[in-house]
Amino acid sequence: MSVKRIVLFATLFVGGVLVSCQHESGTPKPRGYYRIDFPKKAYKHYDEVCPYSFDIPVYSKVAPDLSKNAEPCWINVDFPQFNGRIYLTYHQIKGKESLNHLVEDTRKLAFKHTIKATAIDESLIAKPAEHVYGTYYDIDGNTASSLQFYLTDSTRNFIRGALYFKSQPRIDSIKPVLEFIRKDVDRLIGTFKWKK
């Protein structure tokens, strides 16, 4: 073997070793999340002994609120597949002062999330034909609750709703599920009726 060939092989070998030993200085890969398979949207009508009715998704479950402070007609709409729950608390209105107090309490509970929220948007709800009025709070950011609302007939009935997930609030990871359930909440509100 000639000296030129030995030098060529040695150069290629050393060059190959140097190229293969380069340290990559890239950024770390983001954390991955599980793929979520969403069920097909389908609804059933919820109409029990309480003074209200509405549509709920077939993949949800309704259960009475069993907390120690729960009152009659307080229910939870659970989404077991997504570890989510809509808490619905019902109150009878006992005069204009009572209504003002309930509306203000709901507003305060929604705005408690301002510490972590990047924005809170309020939308008015008005369905005069069904005597359903209220406010929808869309809460952006890493908050415990991403949406809340109340509905009332302004004279006798008031219900407050709040969606929570049983997980650490990370908007980037719950956003697909939140957007999926938001459509169910919109359907609940859109089909909500007070019983006479």
- 97 is a domain residue: yes
- 60 is a domain residue: yes
- 34 is a domain residue: no
Query: CB burial class (10 A; 0-12, 13-18, 19+) of residue 165?
Result: buried
Range of the domain at 151: 54-194
* pLDDT given at position 21: 62
- 40 is a domain residue: no
* pLDDT given at position 135: 96
Note if the pTM is more than 0.75: yes
Question: Under a CB-based contact definition with an 8 Å cutoff, are residues 169 and 195 in contact?
Answer: no
C-alpha pair distances (Å), 26 with each of 16, 17, 18, 30, 89: 21, 20, 19, 12, 50
Q: What is the CATH number of the domain that holds 60?
A: 3.40.1000
- 39 is a domain residue: no
**Distance (Å, whole) CA 31 – CA 188:** 34
Which residue carries 């929570």 as its tokens?
164
In tens digits, the chain (196 residues) has pLDDT values of 677 777 777 777 777 766 666 566 667 766 665 667 899 999 999 999 999 999 999 999 999 999 899 999 999 999 999 999 999 999 999 988 999 999 999 988 888 777 777 788 899 999 999 999 999 999 888 777 889 999 999 999 999 999 998 876 666 677 888 899 999 999 999 999 999 7
Which residue carries 């009152």 as its tokens?
71
Query: What total number of domains does the chain contain?
Result: 1
- 23 is a domain residue: no
Rounded to a whole number, what is the largest CA-CA distance in the chain?
Answer: 106
* pLDDT given at position 177: 87
* pLDDT given at position 167: 73
* pLDDT given at position 99: 93
Strands annotated E in the chain: 43-46, 52-57, 61-64, 75-79, 84-92, 117-127, 132-141, 145-152, 157-165, 193-194
